Amino acid sequence: MPSEFFEDEMIALPDSEGVAAEEEGDVAHYHFRLSKTLTRRIDQYLVDRVPYLSRNNVQRLIDEGMVKVNGRQVKASYKPKERDEIELVAPPKPVSELVPEDIPLDVVYEDDHLLALNKQADLIVHPARGKWTGTLVNGLVHYGRNWSTVNGNWRPGILHRLDRNTTGVMLVAKSDEAHWRVARQFENRTIQKTYMAIIHGVPEMLGDVIDLPIGKDRYVREKQAVRKVENGGRPAVTKYEVLETFETPPAIRLHTGDHPADRKNPPPAQRFALVKLTPKTGRTHQLRVHMAARGHPLVGDTMYGGHVFEHESLNFARQALHAFEITFVHPGTLETITLQAPLPPDMTALRDILRSSNSRSTESKV
């Protein structure tokens, strides 16, 4: 874990005895010790000490409890005193350019116009919120540099996204022309995407359409929720079809995630099902929110009520969601093309464990 003392800042701003900064994951930790009482507010002081943060940035961090003085939260108007110890948790300093990284890419299709890959779990698509390395884009820059520039330098070639822990097929454009042609299809909703998911419980109807608007959760910033349109929700439609149902294996254990909010969700239904999901719209977390709203959260999706699945041979702690297939008009040949990405090993193992408990199939198995 890197640690750095900024001696030049101590000389320029002699009101502090020292400042340390450590980067850990997606955040930076700062620690200041005051050598004299100040006449300015703490938000003004922190802007001077961490110049890449604006005053609005600092005030938001204070409101979110990311700034503490002597272990306690304070208001932006607080004026630091001699011997105060200030702790700040903030996004790390932005980098000026993308860093190429040798991240494995599972390419399922490639030509002069585009590339399709099978994204692995625990991989963010592009840099954001201080996560400047270790993303799919860093891997793409290492793989080659002939990507479209439509979305700017930080998202070369990126046409659409998958959540960090959602696996499956993704398209990347090589030329600006290919990007515009495929992006127009996404905009017009003529691209058909099919996902596979393993859910808690078995829906009463083995096939149905969920038409529920989705918007930001009122209480948790990272979450989405079913919201009325008049309260900020946007139309969202998902078609689902149950492919297999499973009894609960005797040798498994289900438990909540590490986040305190996970423990507030009701326990999920018994039994499990493999479902095919076809989104007609593309809202953030749409499939996860819709299935949870029906009482059938995805296995491992603790944010939306799913539980971690433990077996002697598997610990499944991410949402069991995979982008299995995509059908679109090829930007070069103008012919309809369908690409698939096989289930990842962890999701295949989860399905096989459940199958061992006498599954029932409603159509051919995946």
Q: Which of 102, 112, 122, 163 is catalytic?
A: 163
Report the alpha-carbon distance of residue 300 to residue 247 in Å, rounded. 17
Helix (H) or strand (E) holding 109: strand 107-110
Report the alpha-carbon distance of residue 318 to residue 321 in Å, rounded. 8
Report the alpha-carbon distance of residue 34 to residue 42 in Å, rounded. 11
16-21: which pairs have CB atoms within 8 A and are 24 or more residues apart? 16/49, 19/49
Angle between helices 42-49 and 55-63 (to 10 degrees): 120
**Sign, Cα dihedral of 144, 145, 147, 151:** positive
**CB-based contact 215:293 (threshold 8 Å):** no
From the list 99, 114, 191, the residue with the least C-alpha distance to 150 is 114
Which DSSP category does 298 fall into?
B
Q: How many beta carbons lie within 10 A of that of residue 11, not counting itself?
A: 8
346 catalytic per annotation: no
From the list 218, 211, 213, 305, the residue with the least C-alpha distance to 259 is 305
Report the alpha-carbon distance of residue 138 to residue 132 in Å, rounded. 8
Q: How many beta carbons lie within 10 A of that of residue 51, not counting itself?
A: 10
Query: Which sequence positions are flagged as catalytic?
Result: 163
